[in-house]
Amino acid sequence: MTFRAIRADKTESGQNVGFVEMEDCELMEGDVTLRVTHSTVNYKDGLALSGKSAVPRRFPMVLGIDLAGIVEASAHPGFRAGDEVLANGYGLGETHFGGYAEKARLKGDWLIRPPPGLTRAEAMAIGTAGYTAALCVLALERQGMKPSMGPIVVTGAAGGVGSVAIALLAKAGWSVVASTGRAEEADYLKALGAAEVIERASLAAPGKPLGKERWAAGLDCVGSTTLANVVAQTRYGGAVTACGLAGGMDLPMSVAPFILRGVSLIGVDSVNCPMPLRLEAWARLARDLDRAALARMTETAPFDRTFEIGARILAGRVRGRVVVAMAK
């Protein structure tokens, strides 16, 4: 029996990325084999699908950093045939075959069960982007940030991380300032819970080392100058999480916000996140992410359209989240 997958192969001229037919014997090592029913498209997936990125770090590589499915066979004590599972991070789509395939074989230690009340499709509507948003919210709370301290800014607000972050933060009582380059999405962002929508251009141009204090905290998905301006405009004792690089990997700023205002900049990683914190983030999502809000930010596409969605997300033309349904 063969199954379809999107695979990146190394060639003399670069990478060749496309649909291929594979066999079970080609799967990588692992103690759980599963039928993949859903995946999703994150910004990182869009980069990998373009065939022009360094996301795959070994070849050949089945792409896709998220997956949800049903266990077919297991030698892991925690799972058995028929269990519903999901996985993200741990090098999926980078060093281990990922979610853009109708079958996968993984280490059981990488898998979790969808939290009660979440379907596999909803788990992939959340995906790495939404899970990262939850990690950012938890990081800010661990830093002592509370809604009573003032508003919070979310950059890249109409994207996957931003959309889920707005919904979670609004649920927690925050007054959310949503920064976006897509003015037409203002109503969408307010429906998710944003109290104010600002144009991203106000944060994208080089600014002063210290700006006017505008918010108590920030959740940045963009990086580069945008992140520098968010930090420079954060109030005394505030905190900002950094989890994205859509605007660039550089950070052109001074130390002024840190040593004159005591602002904290917190890096958030989703790939190698310890399992206890991973489970805490998913539990938070299951508890606090409104299902109607999740539905509003989600579209579903068949596996055949994955490349199209990848191109759209790189062009900034995806609102919220996209679920990839593997079944024909």
Tens digits of residue pLDDT in 53-100: 999 999 999 999 999 999 999 999 999 999 999 999 999 999 999 999
User: What's the angle, vertex CA 39, arms to CA 94 and CA 7, rounded to 5?
Assistant: 45
pLDDT tens across 34-48, in order? 999 999 999 999 999
Residue with tokens 């045939």: 81
What percent of the chain has a predicted confidence (pLDDT) above 70? Answer: 100
Cα 218 to Cα 261: distance, rounded to the nearest angstrom: 15
Q: How far is CA 61 from CA 10, 65, 85, 116, in A?
A: 9, 11, 22, 32
Whether 321 has a pLDDT exceeding 70, the answer reads yes
Residues of the chain with CATH 3.40.50.720: 127-267
pLDDT tens across 103-135, in order? 999 999 999 999 999 999 999 999 999 999 999
Say if residues 240 and 251 touch (Cβ distance below 8 Å): no
Residues of the chain with CATH 3.90.180.10: 2-113+297-325
**What is the chain's mean pLDDT, rounded?**
97
- If we measure between CA atoms, which residue out of 56, 53, 64, 45 comes closest to residue 9? 56
Q: Please report how many Cα atoms fall inside a 13 Å half-sphere around the Cα of residue 316, on the Cβ side.
A: 14
pLDDT tens across 268-315, in order? 999 999 999 999 999 999 999 999 999 999 999 999 999 999 999 999
Q: How far is CA 86 from CA 37, 131, 157, 313, in A?
A: 10, 12, 25, 23
Six token digits for residue 213: 């204090």
Residue with tokens 């990325």: 17
CATH number of 127-267: 3.40.50.720
Domain 2-113+297-325 listed as CATH 3.90.180.10: yes
Buried (b) or exposed (e) across 212-233, using 16+ Cβ within 10 A?
A: ebbbbbbbbbbbbbbbbbbbbb
Name the β-bridge partners of 106.
Answer: 32
Q: Given pLDDT bands bounded at 50, 70 and 90, which one contains residue 327?
A: confident
Mean pLDDT of 314-327: 94
Q: Given pLDDT bands bounded at 50, 70 and 90, which one contains residue 1?
A: confident
What local confidence, expressed as pLDDT, does residue 328 receive?
Answer: 61
Name the β-bridge partners of 324.
Answer: 39, 301
Q: Against a cut of 0.75, is the pTM above it?
A: yes
